[in-house]
Amino acid sequence: MLRPHESQAPTERCPRITAGIRQDTRCTTGYASAGRHRLAILDEEIVLTNPTVHPAWVRAFHWINAAAVILMCMSGWQVYEASPLFSFVRFPASITLGGWLGGALLWHFAVMWILVANFIAYLVLGIMTGRLGRTLFALSIRTVATDLAAALRGKLGHGDPSQYNAVQKLAYLVVIADIVLIILSGLTLWKPVQFPVLRALMGGYDNARVVHFAAMSVLAGFFAIHVVMVALVPRSLLTMIRGR
């Protein structure tokens, strides 16, 4: 906004929107004749908003990732059934994939390439475009606490679908880190001899199984809460399907 004593060239141009990147741009165009009281100011505030919330590549990676995670869990549970870690944790055949150990391993090893390639591509593109930093960072304990308290009181706003709240950001960052841990512990179980450093980091082969199981449990917990949250805000599902 120009003040009366300020002078500015009359044709300042608004920055253009870059495809796929939301920008709120305030453009002020005006002119003033300094030294005189005759003043003509054109003060124009334009908020340009790109309606795309999730670009096509994010949607594609997200849904491929979701499908891959479901298939990995179902086949992993079948593999687990061949040698359960805990007597009190068993997975009924109706929610497993592969039919038997060999079949489940074939599924697990086939889908793992899709999961890993898709996940790496999502991270690389997210970092290169700056989207990952823009959407998931700028996080503090205070904003998480405030948003969590508001969410528990049912007072968290969902007005702007392009902005994740702090709890959402934290959950997405945790699940991304969790998928990294799942991949690394899985790599240890798959090639324990070829990756001795990883095996040592996991605390040995047997411990890598526990780490892999624990990381899967965190992912399953995220999945359940994530789906409930999406059901509570159905508009967010539309944005992840059609982009806006």
Task: Enumerate binding residues for ligand HEM (CB under 6 A).
Answer: 58, 62, 65-66, 69, 135, 161, 172, 175, 219, 223, 226-227, 230, 236-237, 239-240
How near is the Cβ of 183 to ligand HEM at its closest, in Å?
12
Pick 101 or 176: Cβ nearer ligand HEM: 176
Pick 69 or 97: Cβ nearer ligand HEM: 69
**How many Å apart are CA 50 and CA 68, to the nearest integer?**
30
How near is the Cβ of 175 to ligand HEM at its closest, in Å?
5
Helix axes 205-232, 56-82, angle to 10 degrees: 130
Pick 74 or 104: Cβ nearer ligand HEM: 74
Nearest Cα to 21, choosing from 126, 168, 139?
126
How near is the Cβ of 94 to ligand HEM at its closest, in Å?
19
Pick 23 or 163: Cβ nearer ligand HEM: 163
Pick 17 or 218: Cβ nearer ligand HEM: 218
**How many Å apart are CA 88 and CA 184, to the nearest integer?**
26
DSSP string, 139-201: --HHHHHHHHHHHHTT------TTS--HHHHHHHHHHHHHHHHHHHHHHHHH-TTT-HHHHHH
Instruction: Tell whether the torsion through CA atoms of 83, 87, 92 and 96 is positive or negative.
Output: negative
Pick 7 or 239: Cβ nearer ligand HEM: 239
How far apart, in Å, do the first and last CA atoms of the chain sit? 31
How near is the Cβ of 153 to ligand HEM at its closest, in Å?
19
**How many Å apart are CA 196 and CA 7, to the nearest integer?**
68
How near is the Cβ of 121 to ligand HEM at its closest, in Å?
12
Inter-residue contact 182 to 188 (CB < 8 Å): no
How near is the Cβ of 56 to ligand HEM at its closest, in Å?
12
What is the number of alpha carbons within 13 Å of residue 118 lying toward its C-beta?
Answer: 20
| Burial (0-12, 13-18, 19+ Cβ within 10 Å), 1 | exposed
